[in-house]
Amino acid sequence: MKRISFLGAGSWGTALAVMLAKHGHQVILWSKVKEEVSMLQEYREHKDRLPGVKLPELVEVTDDLEKACDAPDLVVFSVASPFVRSTAREASPLIGEGQKIVNVAKGIEEASLKTLRDILLEEIPQADVSVLSGPSHAEEVAVDMPTTVVVGSAGKETAIFIQEIFMNDNFRVYISPDIIGIELGGSVKNVIALAAGICDGLGYGDNTKAALITRGVAEITRLGTAMGASMETMGGLSGIGDLIVTCTSEHSRNHNAGALIGKGYSLEQALQEVKQVVEGVYSAKAVKKLSEKYQVSMPIVEQTCKVLFEGVTAQEAVHALFTRDRCKEYPDLGWKK
C-alpha cells in the first residue's frame, strides 16, 4: 500500500483517486473549493462530475493542503491547467526534497509558453516531477473501462515507480523518457479537438473529421519535433491516441465546446454550457505563439484561434483551410523521375 495525495478533486483527479483506492492504496483527495469538499465528504461521490461513482473507504477528502502534502509516497497534481501554477506555489513550502510528483493535467501557459511540468519545476524545484497522459476520459476510468496511458519521467526508476502504482488489470501504463513529447501531444490535441467539435457543430461528416484528425497529427508532430520531441511519441498514446479520443468522444469537453461554437454559440456561451474547464481554450494562444516561435506551420491551430478570439466565423475558418495554396502531403518525399 502506498500513500497517494491528489491535489485537485475534479473529474480526473477523483476518477484516479477512486481507481487507486480500489487497488489498496491510501488516498488523500484535496480540493481548495469548500463546496466540493463538503459534497464529497457528505455524499462520497462527485455528484457534478462523476454521479454514481462512490469513493472507497480508503479515500479521505480534505481541504487541508498541509495534510495532503505531508510526505506521501506520491503527489498527483490533478488541478485544471489554469490553476497549476497557483496551486504549486501554495504547496511548495509544504513539499519535501525529492518528493515524487506526477502531473495529470494538460496545457501550456500562455504568458510563459511553459509546459505544466516546467511550471511545477519552477515553483517546486525540490521535487521530482513526471507526467501522465493518454486517451483516458475520467468517466470511463472511474468505472474500470480498459484504458492505456504513458508516464514520462526524467529517470527510469521514477517512471517504473509510478507505473507500478497506477497499473492494474484495466489500466495499462507504459513509460517513456520523452516528457516534452508527451506534454505537447496532450496539450495541442485539445486545440485540435475544439476544431473537430466546430466541424461537427457545422454539420460536417466523417470525411471532414478524418481529415482534421490526420492533419492535426501533422501539426502536432511538426511542433513536437521542432521542440525536441520524438516522432514516435507523436504517433503514440499521448499523441494520436489522445487526439482521436478527444476529437470523437461524447465525454470530451473540448469537442463539446467546439460543437456548440459550430452551432453558433459564442465562446462565453459555450463555456457556460459545458460547465467545466475547457483546457484547449487556455492553450490555444500559447500553441499558436509556439508555432510562430519555432516557425512551424499550424493552420488548424491558427484558424481555431481566429474563431475563438478574433470574431472569424466557423464557416470562414473552414473556407480558409480548404483554399490554402496547393502543396505536397509530406514535403520531404520526392519522385524518382
- At 265 the pLDDT is 96
Pairwise CA distance, residues 97 & 83, whole Å = 23
- At 336 the pLDDT is 86
| Residues labelled as active-site residues | 189
Does the pLDDT value for residue 149 go beyond 90? Answer: yes
- At 103 the pLDDT is 98
- At 210 the pLDDT is 96
What is the per-residue DSSP string for 222-247? Answer: HHHHHTT--HHHHTSIIIIIHHHHHH
Over residues 309-327, mean pLDDT:
95
Does the pLDDT value for residue 111 go beyond 90? Answer: yes
Burial classification of residue 294, based on how many CB atoms lie within 10 Å of its CB (0-12 exposed, 13-18 middle, 19 or more buried): middle
Domain range summary for the chain, segments of one domain joined by +: 3-177, 180-322
Query: CATH topology of 3-177 equal to that of 180-322?
Result: no
Q: The domain 3-177 is classified under which CATH number: 3.30.930.10, 3.10.105.10, 3.40.50.720, 3.40.190.10?
A: 3.40.50.720
Task: Kindly indicate the confidence band of residue 56, based on its pLDDT and cuts at 50, 70 and 90.
Answer: very high
- At 123 the pLDDT is 98
Question: Please, what's the b/e burial string for 42-72 (b: 16 or more CB within 10 A of its CB; e: otherwise)?
Answer: eeebbeebbeebebbebbbbbbebeebbeeb
**98, amino acid identity:** G
User: What's the pLDDT tens digit per position in 220-276?
Assistant: 999 999 999 999 999 999 999 999 999 999 999 999 999 999 999 999 999 999 988
CATH code of domain 180-322: 1.10.1040.10
Over residues 117-143, mean pLDDT:
98
Does the pLDDT value for residue 27 go beyond 90? Answer: yes
Q: Percent of the chain at pLDDT above 90?
A: 96
Pairwise CA distance, residues 277 & 253, whole Å = 8
- At 331 the pLDDT is 87
